[in-house]
Structure 1
Amino acid sequence: MDEVQNTTERIVLFLDENDERAWKVATITDQLDLDTDAVSAILSRLKERELVHHKASYWTITDDEERLQAAYRLHRHHKNADGQYGEERLEEIQTEDMEEIS
């Protein structure tokens, strides 16, 4: 992939591409050369969104393909909107309805 990936993307792609096993935070951190606290925080957020599973000290990607594909689509949509309008411009044009459903 030629575009720069953010930390969350890197973690999700790593877990998705290596879904045959579960991973400890320290191993994910080492494999991706990331900060341990950042990886832990991101995994916790992904767990809240039911995109990863956590058991003992191990993490895996969800086996719910529909949920994962929906998250990928939503992420691409947001990335495209940020690229087209810029984050500041999106905040300016945000409507009250958009604020209610965010």
Structure 2
Amino acid sequence: MPISIDRFEEGPDDALDIQTGTQPSRILQFLAEHSDQAFTQTEIHEATGINRGSVGAVLSRLEDRGLVRHRGRYWAIGEDDRLASYAAQQAASSASTMDDYYGEE
């Protein structure tokens, strides 16, 4: 989807360019929600529903960008400062979606 040239010119260079609902987004959201833990690829597959064969490739691409880290068989959210704002944005988006679905109280 194209964006306006103004948005292009004014957009922050350090923002994460990860579209909501994509496999990278789902993995990052899961890991951000459990930032005090590390998971195997199988556990990430089971928690996110992403095809088991795709999880490894997505994690590798996210690691190349510094967004996740791993040690041995375990993967965790990265320590990139952009991830804190991403996690907050995802939480706000999720809360907004739930408000739309259930209505505001």
| TM-score exceeds 0.5 | yes
Aligned length: 67
Q: Which runs of 5+ in 2 are unaligned?
A: 1-19, 87-105
The structure carrying a bigger helix percent of its residues is 1
Structure 1 letter corresponding to 2:59: L
Counterpart for residue 41 of structure 1: 57
Superposed CA deviations along residues 4-60 of structure 1, whole A, max 9, x for unmatched, are 611111000000011111000000001111111211000000101111111000000
Q: Which has the higher contact order (CA 8 A, sep 6+)?
A: 2
Superposed CA deviations along residues 56-85 of structure 1, whole A, max 9, x for unmatched, are 000000123x24257x4xxxxxxxxxxxxx
For the aligned residue pairs, the C-alpha RMSD in angstroms reads 1.7
TM-score normalised over the length of structure 1: 0.60
Could you tell me which of 43, 50, 61 is aligned with 2:77?
61
SS of corresponding position for 2:29: helix
After the TM superposition, which residues 4-83 of structure 1 pair with which residues of structure 2 at under 5 Å, given as runs?
Answer: 5-64=21-80, 66-69=81-84, 72=86
- 1:18 to 1:69, Cα distance in 2 relative to 1, 3 A: closer
TM-score normalised over the length of structure 2: 0.58
Runs of 4+ deviating beyond 3 Å: none
Counterpart for residue 88 of structure 1: none
SS of corresponding position for 2:45: helix
